[in-house]
């Protein structure tokens, strides 16, 4: 009996650590536009607290950023600076929660929020979660997402987000 209780406690600790994963990592981003086929490469540094604070500062192009601080989303991307309140703009709230939950390993919530189906596949030391919209994609949602985590520590290593317009953003965390 003690053996099973110890195993259950170990599993709970592992799951809670996985669900609240924090990050401090370099990243690269490849943005591919469906219509033109144009590809844009970007890179930078990402810091995520495991809850509701995400900072992505770009080195390439220098000066760009994407920041989530609670309900505020601040961006300087492609020469456009914007500050949005996710509590007031549904599409921003969906994108905010999708990113935060994806990074935190809460992929079941990502699928539920995006009215999507989910498949989990383990291969080698990686767990790949494919999330595909069931029908009409909510405004600000994604047609599909592929989230890849290292099994050993739950760290996200790759995130592919396909927007309804066909633009695909691929993030590699290093």
| Residue in 42, 85, 88, 86 with CA at minimum distance from that of residue 65 | 42
Map out the domains of the chain with their CATH numbers: 23-173 (2.50.20.10)
Q: Which residues contact 108 (CB under 8 A, 6 or more apart)?
A: 118
pLDDT on residue 20: 52
pLDDT band at 16 (very low <50, low <70, confident <90, very high): very low
Average pLDDT over residues 23-37: 92
Over residues 122-167, the pLDDT tens digits come to: 999 999 999 999 988 877 678 999 999 999 999 999 999 998 888 9
- CA dist 34 and 55 (Å) reads 27
pLDDT on residue 23: 87
Q: Is the link from the previous residue into 61 a cis peptide, with omega within 30 of 0?
A: yes
Q: What is the mean pLDDT of the chain?
A: 87
Average pLDDT over residues 37-54: 94
pLDDT on residue 139: 72
Q: In terms of pLDDT, which residue wins out, 47 or 166? A: 47
Q: In terms of pLDDT, which residue wins out, 166 or 2? A: 166
Per the CB < 8 A criterion, the answer to whether 97 and 77 are in contact is no
Over residues 101-120, the pLDDT tens digits come to: 999 999 999 999 888 999 99
């Amino acid at each position: 009996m003690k053996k099973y209780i110890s195993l259950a406690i170990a599993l709970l600790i592992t799951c809670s650590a996985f669900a609240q994963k924090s990050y401090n990592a370099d990243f690269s981003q490849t943005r591919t536009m469906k219509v033109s086929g144009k590809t844009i490469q970007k890179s930078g540094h990402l810091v995520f607290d495991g809850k509701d604070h995400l900072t992505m500062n770009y080195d390439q192009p220098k000066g760009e950023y994407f920041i989530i601080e609670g309900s505020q989303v601040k961006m300087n991307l492609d020469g456009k600076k914007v500050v949005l309140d996710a509590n007031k703009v549904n599409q921003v709230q969906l994108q905010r929660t999708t990113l935060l939950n994806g990074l935190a390993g809460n992929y079941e919530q990502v699928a539920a929020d995006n009215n999507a189906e989910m498949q989990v596949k383990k291969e080698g030391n990686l767990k790949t979660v494919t999330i595909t919209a069931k029908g009409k994609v909510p405004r600000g949602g994604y047609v599909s997402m592929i989230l890849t985590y290292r099994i050993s520590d739950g760290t996200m290593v790759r995130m592919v987000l396909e927007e309804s317009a066909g633009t695909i953003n691929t993030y590699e965390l290093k």
